[in-house]
Chain A
Amino acid sequence: MKHMALTLRVNGQDRQILVSPSKTLLEVLREDLNLTGTKHGCELGECGACTVLVSGKPLLACLVPVAQIDGAEITTIEALGGPSNPDPLQVEWARLGAAQCGYCTPGFVMSAKALLDGNPNPTRDEIKEAISGNLCRCTGYHKIVEAIENVAQQQQVSKVINAVTIASRQTTAVEVRD
């Protein structure tokens, strides 16, 4: 099959690739771009291990023909923060032992990231629904739900603190003007 030139914006960088259009996004990420943080567990859209964000939405990279998303903005686990600057989700995930073998973890974390980006204060049921397409065989899921819940709560708390801080600054400014 003929190869095709495509441009993907992956983790904030434009990446030009020459690939067979039948390749999946998962294959391109792992094989052409060497971004092996995204995993495969079935290649049929059944396990969620390959979840990445495409224009902010969680998608199963194993089901996406790469030719369909020419020009799309893709975010993988590698962009979510490394060991020296981890995302709060990653910190909490590790702290609670929500990653045992860790193989399903990148997919789960990306699903959770998409959830919190769109819904910063989800209920427990909303969390469960958001990750119901991801399979984990080690943990029994509890620590995963707890990690997402904890991060959502932390972010709510810091939002309130920020709001209070801004409000008190404004109050102070008003007082000075008086």
Chain B
Amino acid sequence: MAPKTEYAVIGGTETKVDGLEKVTGRTRYADDLSFPNMLYGRFLRSPHAHARIKNIDVSKAAAMPGVHCILTGKDFPIPFGPLPISEDEHVLAIDKAIYVGEPVVAIAASDEATADAACRAVVVDYEELESYMTLEEALAQKGEAIHPDHRGGNVHKEVPLEIGDVEQGFAEAEYLREDVFYYEGNTHMPIEEHACIGVPEGIDKVTLYSSTQNPHYGHRLLGKVLGLSPSRIRVVATPVGGGFGGKCDTFSHEFSACRMALLTGRPVKFTLTREEVFYTHRGRHPVLMWSKIGFKRNGKITAMYFKSFLDGGACGSLGVASTYYTGALQPCSYKIPHYKFEGVRLFTNKPVCGPKRGHGTPQPRTVMETQLDKTAVDLGIDPATLRLINAVEPYSKTVNHFRITSCGLKECIEKVVEASDFRNKWGKLPHGKGIGFAASVYMSGAGVPQYWNNGPHSEVTVKVGRFGEVQCLTGSTDIGQGSMMVHASIVAEVLGLHTRDIMVLNGDTATTPIDLGSYSSRVTFMSGNAALQAARRMRDQIAGVVAESFGVTADRIEFREYKVFNADNPEQSMDWPDACALTESKLGAQSSSGNYTPPDLAGPYKGGTVGPSPAYTFTALAVQVDVDPETGMIKIEKVWCAHDIGFPINHTLVIGQVEGGIYMGLSEALLEEMVYRKNRLKAPSLLDYKTITVAEMPEIETHLICTNDPEGPFGAKEAGQGPLLPAIPALLNAVYDAVGVRIDEVPCSPDKVLFAMEEKAEGGAGRYGPKAFLEHKMTSKPVRAPRPAEWENGNEGRMS
């Protein structure tokens, strides 16, 4: 049920502004666009995981009729990456190929078949090198490093951090446990394959229409890699047919389309095949983790020491941030007095890992929440109570210095316990049936941008025309989460209009102001705040003029139901278009802008910029399962979820995000994995890359907890990523409750359940998972940080 509010639009269930166009097939995605005289681009990709390129012979391809442009690595000498500290990627392989599927040659031709045939006519002379397909192989590094110029060899990044004194914390503990866990990698699998079109404009400019989450970052990188002034490049984000983090980076097809358009003077379209989407990847990192945690007998955590090894694939992407994220949010859901974290990311000869929904946090969240479940059993405290004992509180500092403002974690836990009847079910259901519990935290937007700058993170312009027409211009992109509706709702609420009166124009670097993009669950909070400020400024401009004509002060003017009126005498009113025309006649063309920059919340230590957010959401979740002891098959019967949303801008959109996030979490918990046979991806197709379908989806009961965040627009916080996180560990915990075995590995497939059950039947531990963690001596200097004053004064983080 949507909450009761005093608002006209906010908190409602109105259909989103772009809803009808989507269900009628009218939305024009990137591949739906065509331009006269268009060429089609294709890539020749590497068949080798690690191989020196000795020669590329394109002569046969170049002689083929219909072939207009052929590019190789030497045409793009400038390396790049989304993070300036990790520029290790090339548009097309230079000197050597570093994963199967890496683009090596790009060809534009009059049609796709000709471009494909031309790619097949290219002869590349490779010399295979020692390849590194696992963490162990990458670490041992028996041959040439994947990036020979990288200081650490195959070790891409090390993060050694200690806050407080974990040894002291462990000494105070009355119960200690250590666990090793492996989380396999998986991928976003948007149903829309990546596509883009580079269109030459005039003689020296180019417009890129692309299915991208982040047109602004793309704009920056295109300028850098193509060596063009940003004034010559326009990036237009087309409606994105599924992102989930997979369309955040700027890709080879985007650089190539632009360069080819400029060289040929013709539009060039690239549409990836499904197999290519798997190679383009940037998905969930495979992570091997080790965690040691100490508790008092009463269930209070005394310290945590967490180690992670990330299998990064062949390039950096956003992997430096991913590495930090595997250690950033553990102290943000539960009070941990002493915390130590060591994260290591390795390069391997596999498609590049990057940000996927939950970015680097589902893996450690799964370890921590299963560890809490194991502890609960051992200490004889039920899992929900154990979490309540340790839950972070509103208006507190985490031990790693992150500021928590609104926080409904305890309410979420209590709501799920009540709705699922957890305490009467846990440990009490018949063998084969089980219920599992987990909770989590996520950010409403990253506190720092991907490249260093002092500008706002979000800017929004509101324009009002002579007939009362309203445009809301935002650089954010709609990836299906409903950001257009969020903007329309906020502007409509402030100006007393209907969302259909607002034309939202988005994601165009030439016509819309800057927004960093649709990632890190930032759009509603950050761009929403910018939209709110822009709309309020527009309201104030109009109110001033109308107030003067009414002979009252501006603070008496209200906007509602398409009217502007005197609050003290509602008879004295003006229709919205008349108020707009009057304002224009007095003040000229009407536009207003709003900006949002998050407060500086970085922790006072190296890496303290990854994890701070202006607000955090909290989620609790229970999963009930039925495990077949004969086959190990897991049937999910029902999910209960409570999510601290702050306040929903649109109730329907929020429920959609919660259900979609839970689906994606359950799917990766049960099935999804990027696995390799020798050097090749085993299943680069939708048939073989298993996901749960409508047939397996359980019922979901969602409760929204409204904590009205003081800094969120109308109190709102994020919904897109948080609810995915607890679904995975809750499922693993439910499997234990059902059949008494611990699966310390994701995905939790039937063979693993059977293995553990057989082991248990033979008197073993009843566990499936990695036996040991990797030995590695950190070469980076340890970062030691003091605890915040709120911890040193014995306040357990509470801000006075």
Residues of chain A whose beta carbon lies under 8 Å from any beta carbon of chain B: 30, 34, 36-44, 46-47, 49, 76-78, 80-83, 86, 89-91, 93-106, 109, 128-129, 131-132, 134-145
- A91–B19 alpha-carbon span in the complex (Å): 9
Residues of B within 8 A of A42 (CB): 274, 685-686
B630-660 with Cβ < 8 A to chain A: 652-653, 655-656, 659-660
- B191 and A132 form a contact (CB under 8 A): no
- A38–B27 alpha-carbon span in the complex (Å): 11
B700 at the interface (CB under 8 A from A): yes
With A135-B693, A140-B662, A140-B700 in contact, is A38–B191 under 8 Å at CB? Answer: no
- A47 and B23 form a contact (CB under 8 A): no
Point out the residue from B18, B188, B243, B659 that lies within 8 Å of A139, measured CB to CB.
Answer: B659
With A37-B25, A135-B686, A135-B693 in contact, is A143–B191 under 8 Å at CB? Answer: no
Distance in Å: Cβ of B510 to nearest Cβ of chain A: 24
Point out the residue from A39, A43, A93, A100 that lies within 8 Å of B274, measured CB to CB.
Answer: A43
In the complex, besides A47-B191, A89-B23, A103-B29, 12 extra interface pairs with C-beta distance below 8 angstroms are A41-B686, A44-B685, A46-B685, A78-B24, A83-B21, A94-B23, A97-B656, A102-B241, A137-B244, A137-B660, A138-B480, A141-B663
Distance in Å: Cβ of A27 to nearest Cβ of chain B: 10
Q: Give 1 or 0 for each of B740-768: 1 = CB within 8 Å of chain A CB.
A: 00000000000000000000000000000
Point out the residue from B15, B18, B239, B695 that lies within 8 Å of A128, measured CB to CB.
Answer: B695
- B660 and A140 form a contact (CB under 8 A): yes
With A47-B686, A78-B25 in contact, is A137–B190 under 8 Å at CB? Answer: yes
Q: Give 1 or 0 for each of B7-50: 1 = CB within 8 Å of chain A CB.
A: 00000000110111111111111011010000000000000000
- A142–B32 alpha-carbon span in the complex (Å): 28
- B660 and A131 form a contact (CB under 8 A): no
Residues of A within 8 A of B15 (CB): 94-95, 97
Point out the residue from A39, A86, A134 that lies within 8 Å of B23, measured CB to CB.
Answer: A86
- B28 and A36 form a contact (CB under 8 A): yes
B240 at the interface (CB under 8 A from A): yes
- A100 and B239 form a contact (CB under 8 A): no
B497 at the interface (CB under 8 A from A): no
- A166–B414 alpha-carbon span in the complex (Å): 54
With A101-B191, A135-B191, A137-B190 in contact, is A77–B663 under 8 Å at CB? Answer: no
B796 at the interface (CB under 8 A from A): no
Distance in Å: Cβ of A111 to nearest Cβ of chain B: 11
B316 at the interface (CB under 8 A from A): no
Residues of B within 8 A of A109 (CB): 23
Distance in Å: Cβ of B366 to nearest Cβ of chain A: 19
Chain B at the A interface: mostly helix, strand, loop or mixed? loop
- B656 and A143 form a contact (CB under 8 A): yes
Give the bracket for the number of chain B residues in contact with chain A.
Answer: 35 or more
- A83 and B686 form a contact (CB under 8 A): no
- B656 and A81 form a contact (CB under 8 A): no
- B274 and A41 form a contact (CB under 8 A): yes
Residues of A within 8 A of B31 (CB): 36, 40
B697 at the interface (CB under 8 A from A): yes
Residues of B within 8 A of A94 (CB): 15-16, 19-20, 22-23
- A104–B23 alpha-carbon span in the complex (Å): 9
Point out the residue from A38, A46, A78, A144 that lies within 8 Å of B686, measured CB to CB.
Answer: A46
Q: Nearest residue in A to B652 (C-beta to C-beta)?
A: A97
B526 at the interface (CB under 8 A from A): no
With A39-B241, A140-B700, A143-B656 in contact, is A105–B693 under 8 Å at CB? Answer: no
B368 at the interface (CB under 8 A from A): no
Residues of B within 8 A of A102 (CB): 18, 22-23, 27, 239, 241, 480
- A89–B273 alpha-carbon span in the complex (Å): 30
Residues of A within 8 A of B16 (CB): 94, 97
- A37–B23 alpha-carbon span in the complex (Å): 10
Distance in Å: Cβ of A75 to nearest Cβ of chain B: 12
B337 at the interface (CB under 8 A from A): no
Distance in Å: Cβ of B9 to nearest Cβ of chain A: 16
B694 at the interface (CB under 8 A from A): yes
Q: Nearest residue in B to A38 (C-beta to C-beta)?
A: B25
Q: Nearest residue in A to B29 (C-beta to C-beta)?
A: A103
Residues of B within 8 A of A76 (CB): 25
Q: Nearest residue in B to A77 (C-beta to C-beta)?
A: B25
Q: Nearest residue in B to A1 (C-beta to C-beta)?
A: B113
- A96–B660 alpha-carbon span in the complex (Å): 13
Q: Nearest residue in B to A95 (C-beta to C-beta)?
A: B15
- B193 and A90 form a contact (CB under 8 A): no
Point out the residue from A34, A37, A139 that lies within 8 Å of B660, measured CB to CB.
Answer: A139
Residues of A within 8 A of B659 (CB): 139-140, 142-143
